[in-house]
Amino acid sequence: MRLQVLGTAAGGGVPQWNCACPGCSGARAHPGRRRRHASLAVQTDDGCHVVNATPDIADQIEACAWLRPGPGPRQSPLKGVILTDAELDHTIGLLRLREADTLEVRATPAVRQALGPFADLLRPYLQLSWADADTIPVSGKRPRYAADAPESASSAGWVSALRLTDGAATVIYAPAMGVWPDELDAACAAADCVIIEGTFWDDDEPRRTGISAKTATQMGHLPITATMERLSRLPGRCLYTHLNNTNPLVDPAAEQHKVLAELGVEVAADGMVIDL
Ligand SMILES: [Zn+2]
């Protein structure tokens, strides 16, 4: 299995278009600090997929050599998209893929149901097919636009950790998670690589920086300080992704990078290639 990290930012990206916080301003002044929306390209025996369809998806495909089209004039190696949830930052890129002839979307029943309006919009352009993904539920948080969706047996599938496998290689990818269930513990212990959410450094960060009246946990995001010790004990390679622009880690000089380095945990970077 080959992975390429296509983006490592939470919703809005770094910089976010309407934000002049220190993290976003720093990324404007230093283009090397820019982070696109969190996404992952995956190449396996089963073909090439992108995990989550972000607002940056067209640029992200161009940035990944093995996702570029060819040799035919309209021949793309991209077989489909695998979704961890139905949040707009992870799904709006589906509309950007409307030039495709066919597209497979792997998602839970809850996510598929929420994306009904997307499917309606795309139907006149391309043939969408749906399939299940190999997932572990990690939050019941719904997107705001689906707040009124009826409760159903599929409600457990609103936010998932994905298990990606190819032969003996296994990767766990969870860019957002509100809880760490025992099932995820077992899956991470058996994985060669674990890439999970690093939206916020600590629980109070959203309140301290003034972006929310809620803590990170109340917003449905386990902060890094709540998961880093656990990651340090895992046998596989562990990386954080989905950094919010308030996260001190968006500054390469931040002390927090040393804390993670001492634990042997990495921060994913846009463009990073991981071969397993
Ligand atoms: Zn900002």
The Å distance, Cα 21 to ligand 1 centre, comes to 4
Quote the Cα angle for 103-197-104, to 5°. 10
Please give the single-letter amino acid code of residue 4. Q
The Å distance, Cα 94 to ligand 1 centre, comes to 25
Tell me the backbone φ, ψ of residue 192, rounded to 5 degrees: -80, -25
Fill in the DSSP letter of residue 234.
S
Strands (E), 152-192: 159-166, 169-174
pLDDT tens for the chain, residues 1 to 276: 999 999 999 999 999 999 999 999 999 999 999 999 999 999 999 999 999 999 999 999 999 999 999 999 999 999 999 999 999 999 999 999 999 999 999 999 999 999 999 999 999 999 999 999 999 999 989 999 998 877 665 567 999 999 999 999 999 999 999 999 999 999 999 999 999 999 999 999 999 999 999 999 999 999 999 999 999 999 999 999 999 999 999 999 999 999 999 999 999 999 999 999
The Å distance, Cα 252 to ligand 1 centre, comes to 16
3-state helix, strand, coil in the chain (%, to 5): 30, 25, 45
The Å distance, Cα 196 to ligand 1 centre, comes to 21
Look up residue 2 and give its two tokens: 């080959």
Q: What is the spatial distance between Cα 44 and Cα 149, in angstroms, rounded to a whole number?
A: 35
Cα separation values, 130 from 4, 18, 104, 175, Å: 24, 35, 6, 21
The Å distance, Cα 111 to ligand 1 centre, comes to 28
Q: What is the spatial distance between Cα 133 and Cα 269, in angstroms, rounded to a whole number?
A: 25
The Å distance, Cα 19 to ligand 1 centre, comes to 4
What pLDDT does 188 receive?
98
The Å distance, Cα 192 to ligand 1 centre, comes to 33
Cis amide bond preceding 22, omega within 30: no
The Å distance, Cα 86 to ligand 1 centre, comes to 23
The domain locations on the chain are 2-275
- CATH code of 2-275, in short, is 3.60.15.10
Tell me the backbone φ, ψ of residue 26, rounded to 5 degrees: -60, -40
Count other Cβ atoms within 10 Å, centred on residue 261.
11
What pLDDT does 147 receive?
87
The Å distance, Cα 200 to ligand 1 centre, comes to 13
What pLDDT does 136 receive?
97
What pLDDT does 39 receive?
98
Q: What is the spatial distance between Cα 56 and Cα 96, in angstroms, rounded to a whole number?
A: 9
Fill in the DSSP letter of residue 38.
P
The Å distance, Cα 129 to ligand 1 centre, comes to 36
Count other Cβ atoms within 10 Å, centred on residue 106.
20
What pLDDT does 152 receive?
64
What pLDDT does 150 receive?
73
The Å distance, Cα 246 to ligand 1 centre, comes to 6
First to last CA, the chain: 5
The Å distance, Cα 89 to ligand 1 centre, comes to 16
Q: What is the spatial distance between Cα 25 and Cα 178, in angstroms, rounded to a whole number?
A: 29
- Residue 39 burial (C-beta neighbours within 10 Å; 0-12, 13-18, 19+): buried
The DSSP bridge pattern shows strands 2-7 and 169-174 to be unpaired
The Å distance, Cα 171 to ligand 1 centre, comes to 30
Q: Give the up-direction half-sphere exposure of residue 87: CA atoms within 13 A in the CB hemisphere.
A: 24
What pLDDT does 64 receive?
98
The Å distance, Cα 205 to ligand 1 centre, comes to 13
The Å distance, Cα 137 to ligand 1 centre, comes to 29
The Å distance, Cα 249 to ligand 1 centre, comes to 13
The Å distance, Cα 12 to ligand 1 centre, comes to 8
